[in-house]
Amino acid sequence: MIGLALLSLSAMAFNADSYEAALTAEIQRAMDNLVLPGQERPHHITVTVATGSYTTIRAQDGAVIDSTSAPSRDLRVDVRVGDATLDNGNFLPSMGIPDGITSRQLADEHSPISLRRDVWLALDAAYKGATQTYAAKTAARRGRQGPFAADLGPINTPTRLPFTAPRVPDDDRLNAVVQTLAKASAAPAHLESSAVSASDWAGSGLVMSTEGTAAWIPTSSVVVRVEMATRANDGSRLRNTRSWVAQSPKQLPDVSVLEAEIAAASSWLERLRSAPVEDDYLGPVFFESPAAAELFRQLLHTEITGTPPWEHAPESADDNARPIPVARIGRRLLPTGWSVVDDASSDPGLASHQTHDYEAVPTRRVTVVSDGILRDVLMSRVPRLDRDTSTGHGRSSGHNRRVAMPTQVYVDPKRGVGIRRLKRVALRHAKSAGLPYVLVVRRLLPPALSDDMEFAFTGDAPLAGLTAPTEAYRLYPDGRTEPVRGLRFSGVDRRALRDIVAASSRNEPVEMKDSADSSSRFSIHALGGHPVSWSVPAVVIGEMELRGSGGGERRVVPAPSMESASSVLNGSVSPF
């Protein structure tokens, strides 16, 4: 409680004018004095100072093993040399060549002189890196075919947003949640291990640029994740997870709801221990919610975000390497009549709510898909040939460029049907495929908790394309269900969404954490990423391929029960 009081006093005494004055002075000094003989001068500088506080708590097998609460202050500078048409941005230099983005951690206590020194050092390093990257980029373009898009999109009006004091992370509430979930997930005797991790962040980022932007962008989110593991009778490792993301600990579901979720996940693992392996399945798949939310998040993210890939040096004489966006306007992504809208300000109660992105650009509502076809894309200030204006969706962390990223996504089918009818449609397609049952996926493993790392080599089998199901079962025509395990998807990509044969009405938003580039989604650690939400229907996809694998190493010595291990940990007294 003392820590919370100190943080509250710190928020009350926060001097936003001092931060703005320090950054203004250093940005102006850099624009006047940053110069190297024979090198381009800066044409644009953005400086971001993120201030806030966080709490992280981790528990293992029923006991809290780590708990940290602390302030956080980080600096990021982005220096562009040349001009907006051609500068050092959006180019991936060879290893060892620095770019124009520099980030560093600031002292916990604010001092204007200390802040100016840190900004000065960061700007100096970023400018030197920018000149090297600019030289590499112009050299790489010699003799290469265009056209090339500009490197920095315009803004209509510089954003001015005053500082608003963020909330203080609720250590006590978050700790109570973790303690409860740790005990609940460690109690069942059939589990070999359990882990709970949680993080609460609240803060504000000051974005200032040479264009006159001076905006404080508030951010707030909490994430709680639970993992449980056991072994099947043949020794195969089985996992199940639960995750919750919210704007604050107060907005998490009631503890009784969380405990019920843990009990359901544990019960499913117990059933899986003797469940059959689905060796090979080719046929329709019914995705229940929230598996459907993961399906759309993993397959649709890159298809609606318009940021082009990095430009890079040619790897061969005939390598043009002009970046071609993945999201292609005019491409059919969904069946006729479907629509997809991203509206970041639709629901202020969600962690994914935002009025401005990390570049201080106002976020606007974008209808990205209508009648199943991609009509528009989400944009940051990284332009492409057919779009040069940001839609206010630029986000990233640390040293990465700001790229377009979904916020609050709403997916609507042409016509939604009830779940009972959806099951009948799925069973009918299974019968047409000569199958005695249809496969139903209830949950997919969140990418942040996935252990899988896939690489493609010539001659390899297709990559999965989706994370593995953690809860899947066979649904028979008579209504009987049978859990199955060991499943992995094979060769799934965006084209699977065009094979949706039926859908329910749109469900409530599912809040998640995601990365700014979904191709790196497996590198998100359990508590990392940015808040997003997907509100989607349950769907039946006409044909998908899944393959199963069983077997494993049998336990020679049975694992101790989680209940006895927890009691020993909680009851021991050490003299050291």
Helices (H), 228-276: 255-272
pLDDT band of 9, cuts 50, 70, 90: very low
- Rounded to an integer, the average pLDDT of 493-497 is 96
Contacts of 563 by beta carbon, 8 Å cutoff, 6+ apart: 186, 187, 189
Strand segments, DSSP code E, in 61-106 are 63-81, 91-92, 101-105
- Rounded to an integer, the average pLDDT of 367-385 is 97
pTM: 0.91
- Rounded to an integer, the average pLDDT of 101-120 is 95
With 50 as the cut, is the pLDDT of residue 507 above it?
A: yes
pLDDT at site 96:
78
pLDDT band of 8, cuts 50, 70, 90: very low
What six digits make up the tokens of 273?
Answer: 């221990």
pLDDT band of 98, cuts 50, 70, 90: confident
CB 46 within 8 A of CB 208: yes
pLDDT at site 169:
87
pLDDT at site 14:
82
pLDDT at site 452:
64
Q: How far is CA 88 from the centre of its chain?
A: 27
What six digits make up the tokens of 494?
Answer: 């965006």
Q: At 7, phi and psi to the nearest 5?
A: -65, -40
Summary mean pLDDT of the chain: 90
d(CA 342, CA 327): 15
Q: How far is CA 46 from the centre of its chain?
A: 24
* Interval 392-428: pLDDT, tens: 999 998 888 999 999 999 999 999 999 999 999 999 9
With 50 as the cut, is the pLDDT of residue 50 above it?
A: yes
> Pairing between strand 214-231 and 160-161?
parallel
Local structure of residue 554 (DSSP, 8 states): P
Of 150, 116, 110, nearest to 47 by C-alpha is: 116
Dihedral (CA of 64, 65, 71, 72) sign: negative
Contacts of 55 by beta carbon, 8 Å cutoff, 6+ apart: 67, 68, 69, 169, 170, 171, 174, 199, 200
Contacts of 427 by beta carbon, 8 Å cutoff, 6+ apart: 437, 438, 475, 477
Lowest mean pLDDT among 2-6, 363-367, 497-501: 2-6
pLDDT at site 399:
84
Domains of the chain, first to last: 2-225 (3.30.2290)
First-residue to last-residue Cα distance in the chain: 27
Radius of gyration, CA atoms only, the chain: 26
What six digits make up the tokens of 432?
Answer: 């047409």
pLDDT at site 324:
75
Does the N-terminal peptide bond of residue 509 adopt cis geometry, omega within 30 degrees of 0?
no
- Rounded to an integer, the average pLDDT of 181-208 is 96
What six digits make up the tokens of 138?
Answer: 């112009």
